[in-house]
Amino acid sequence: MEELINSPEYQKILPYIYILLSGFILLLFLLIYLSILGRKTLLLIKKENRCVTPEQSWLLLLPFFHIYWNFIFMRRLVDSLNNEFYDRKEEVEENPTQMNGYFYAWSFLVLNLPLPAFIFFVTFLLTIVSIILYIAKINEYKKQLESSPRLDNSF
């Protein structure tokens, strides 16, 4: 074992292993942040307008199930935001966060396919960029929900 660790081939790939590990840790932190942000955004939406519960955002952290849940959560978050902004009578783009959500979900799906190293690396970079863009878009609508008054019909 010690011979393997001290071999020149192993020493040559060691920096790449650290870079790859750092990238996966970054992706994990971004997934955790996406779950927290999704939950906080859903809590700002009235219960009758939600198509997904805030607690279900934590399903984004389950390995393998996450590949499928990205598509479901993204679609239901879009529907929930549409319902809420329609009730508040606010104009927003049609299907808010949908384009960024699909881009992220598809890039994450492709990332989990067995691909050659170069294609995997490019897909990994696309996934990191897409999750950051998706988080930024959700955060934008979360701030809009926080700043606009709720139109409650209960007097």
The model's pLDDT over 81-92, given as tens digits with 9 standing for 90+, comes to 999 999 999 988
Within a domain: residue 137?
Answer: yes
Q: Buried (b) or exposed (e) across 105-123, using 16+ Cβ within 10 A? A: bebbebbeeeeeeeebeeb
- Residues 93-109 have a mean pLDDT of 94
Distance, in Å, from the CA atom of 134 to the CA atom of 88, rounded to the nearest integer, reads 23
What does the block give as tokens for 107? 């890039």
What would the DSSP string read from start to end of 92-121? --SSTTHHHHHHHHHHHHHHTS---HHHHH
Distance, in Å, from the CA atom of 153 to the CA atom of 150, rounded to the nearest integer, reads 9
Give the pLDDT score at 152: 60
Is the distance from CB of 44 to CB of 145 less than 8 angstroms?
Answer: yes
Residues of the chain with pLDDT > 70, as a percent, come to 95
pLDDT surpasses 60 at 155: no
Within a domain: residue 97?
Answer: yes
* Overall pTM > 0.95: no
Give the pLDDT score at 18: 87
Length of the chain, in residues: 155
- Domain of residue 25: give its range: 2-147
- Residues 132-136 have a mean pLDDT of 97
Within a domain: residue 153?
Answer: no
- Residues 124-150 have a mean pLDDT of 93
Find the DSSP H helices in the chain.
2-6, 8-43, 65-87, 98-111, 117-147
Residue 151: pLDDT band with limits 50, 70, 90 = low
Distance, in Å, from the CA atom of 10 to the CA atom of 27, rounded to the nearest integer, reads 25
More confident residue, 100 or 13: 100
Give the pLDDT score at 11: 79
Distance, in Å, from the CA atom of 73 to the CA atom of 31, rounded to the nearest integer, reads 13
Q: What angle do CA 80, 85, 89 make, to 5 degrees?
A: 150
Within a domain: residue 154?
Answer: no
What does the block give as tokens for 37? 């942000």
What does the block give as tokens for 55? 């607690």
pLDDT surpasses 90 at 150: no
For residue range 43-56, list pLDDT tens digits in order: 999 999 999 999 99
Within a domain: residue 10?
Answer: yes
Within a domain: residue 121?
Answer: yes
- Residues 111-119 have a mean pLDDT of 92
Distance, in Å, from the CA atom of 128 to the CA atom of 12, rounded to the nearest integer, reads 26
pLDDT surpasses 60 at 36: yes
Within a domain: residue 152?
Answer: no
Within a domain: residue 155?
Answer: no
What does the block give as tokens for 53? 């519960």
Total number of domains in the chain: 1
- Residues 100-104 have a mean pLDDT of 96
